[in-house]
Amino acid sequence: MRKAILYLLAAVPIVGSCAEEAPHAGQPTPQAQSMRIMRADVDTIRAFAQGGTPAFEAEKAAKDLVAWSGKIGDLFPPDEAPKQYLYMSSAMASGAPAALRGTTEPLLATVKTGDRAATSEQLARTQHDGCGYCHLQPYPQ
């Protein structure tokens, strides 16, 4: 019985070392962090369109979305993204920055006018044609 306990105690550190986590395990990737930030920006602009957020906050969020459109290509490089994300093709990754920029720049302009109804319409286009350029596409074959 004593031998069995000794073997068990000796095995615990060995098994425990197998369970060590990678240094960044459980932390969101830069891509996931960027998606969360952009989602928060969209929510802020939606709240403005519905009358619940001041225009200056919506303008800040819209500027942030325009800035992200310039960074999206770095976050999802066309040669690497399809290897990391099964749903993404090289064509999606290459076209995403222009699709996002092409909808977020008009969104910023609309927010600056203060027209909540027009902002709501442009936000819908941004979500469908900008974000949706990747997120609403069928899985690549």
**Ordered structural domains, the chain, with CATH:** 30-135 (1.20.120)
Quote the pLDDT of residue 86: 85
Quote the pLDDT of residue 67: 97
d(CA 77, CA 55) in angstroms, rounded, equals: 34
pTM for the full model? 0.79
Quote the pLDDT of residue 6: 45
d(CA 72, CA 84) in angstroms, rounded, equals: 15
For residue 1, what is the enclosing H or E element?
A: none
Assigned token pair, 60 = 């800040």
The residue among 76, 68, 62, 75 whose CA lies nearest residue 110 is 62
Quote the pLDDT of residue 68: 96
pLDDT tens per residue across all 141 residues of the chain? 555 444 444 544 444 444 455 555 788 899 999 999 999 999 999 999 999 999 999 999 999 999 999 999 999 999 999 999 888 899 999 999 999 999 999 999 999 999 999 999 999 999 999 999 998 887 665
Quote the pLDDT of residue 3: 53
Quote the pLDDT of residue 56: 97
The sign one gets for the Cα dihedral 116, 33, 66, 89 is negative
Q: What is the DSSP annotation of 11-68?
A: HHHHHHHHTPPPTTTTSPPHHHHHHHHHHHHHHHHHHHHTT-S-HHHHHHHHHHHHHH
Quote the pLDDT of residue 12: 46
Q: Give residue 68's identity as a one-letter amino acid code.
A: W
d(CA 54, CA 132) in angstroms, rounded, equals: 26
